[in-house]
């Protein structure tokens, strides 16, 4: 009798757990990626999508139109040799300990919410902080022989902060083939309901 009750209790708990996991997986990142864990300066963070299928973005990231200039639609590639990527490629770089993902927006934007695992390197400072990306100062400026693979992003398709940073990096000697541009930026990241740290999700 006790064994039967114990078996029923275990079966009920497993049933609830399986049901809970199935509900959690209704909105995954990709077919074989329901969520992903990435390392951040504050420890591991799980990136997933918002599970409420009626969720809508609001505020600045829901806007479709901003004055151009300065908020003009950015080209697909900000500079020759740079590779433009999407969310899945960005997530792969977040998981790669040899790569860096850079939020090139100003500090106030970064504080308002960013992609987990991204470092803050504002586009206004990138020319002075290439050592954060693996370059070393030399008499002529920077030696970027050991520059890391980096992905830069800003607020979205209309944001010029990361393209400006990318062009400044290349002008300072950073190899273009080691630079990746997440053109969709925070607007696309939020539209997909992906995890945001430091601010509203």
Residues 38-92 pLDDT 10s: 999 999 999 999 999 999 999 889 999 999 999 999 999 999 999 999 999 999 9
Q: Is 156 left (phi over 0), alpha (psi -120 to 50) or beta?
A: left
- pLDDT at 17 > cutoff 50: no
Residue 64 tokens, joined: 């479709």
Burial-class residue 184 by CB neighbours within 10 Å (0-12, 13-18, 19+).
Answer: buried
Q: What pLDDT score was predicted for residue 139?
A: 87
Q: What pLDDT score was predicted for residue 49?
A: 95
156-185, pLDDT tens digit by residue? 999 999 999 999 999 999 999 999 999 999
**Higher per-residue confidence, 191 vs 15:** 191
Q: Are 50 and 57 in contact (CB under 8 A)?
A: no
- Mean of pLDDT values over 123-143: 94
- pLDDT at 113 > cutoff 80: yes
Long-range CB contacts for residues 36-42, cutoff 8 Å, separation at least 24: 36/91, 36/94, 36/95, 38/91, 38/94, 38/95, 38/116, 38/117, 39/97, 39/117, 40/116, 40/117, 40/197, 41/119
CATH of domain 35-191: 3.40.250.10
**Higher per-residue confidence, 17 vs 126:** 126
Sorted by where each begins, the domain ranges of the chain are 1-33, 35-191
18-40, pLDDT tens digit by residue? 334 445 559 999 999 999 999 99
Q: What is the pTM of this model?
A: 0.86
Q: What pLDDT score was predicted for residue 7?
A: 37
**Higher per-residue confidence, 175 vs 9:** 175
| Mean residue pLDDT across the chain | 88
Q: What pLDDT score was predicted for residue 25?
A: 59
């Amino acid at each position: 009798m006790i064994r039967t009750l114990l078996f029923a209790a275990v079966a009920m708990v497993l049933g609830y757990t399986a049901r809970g996991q199935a509900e959690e997986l209704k909105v995954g990142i990709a077919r074989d990626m329901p969520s992903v864990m990435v390392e951040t300066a504050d420890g591991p963070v799980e990136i997933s999508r918002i599970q409420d299928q009626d969720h809508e973005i609001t505020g600045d990231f829901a806007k479709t139109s901003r004055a151009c200039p300065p908020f003009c639609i950015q080209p697909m590639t900000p500079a020759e040799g740079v590779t433009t990527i999407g969310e899945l490629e960005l997530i792969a770089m977040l998981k790669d300990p040899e790569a860096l993902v850079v939020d090139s927006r100003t500090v106030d934007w970064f504080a308002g919410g960013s992609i987990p695992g991204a470092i803050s390197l504002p586009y206004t400072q990138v020319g002075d902080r290439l050592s954060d990306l693996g370059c070393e100062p030399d008499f002529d400026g920077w030696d970027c022989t050991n520059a890391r693979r980096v992905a830069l992003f800003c607020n979205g398709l209309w944001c010029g902060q990361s393209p400006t940073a990318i062009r400044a990096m290349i002008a300072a000697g950073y190899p273009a083939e080691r630079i990746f541009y997440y053109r969709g930026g925070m607007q696309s990241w939020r539209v997909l309901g992906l995890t945001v740290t430091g601010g509203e999700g």
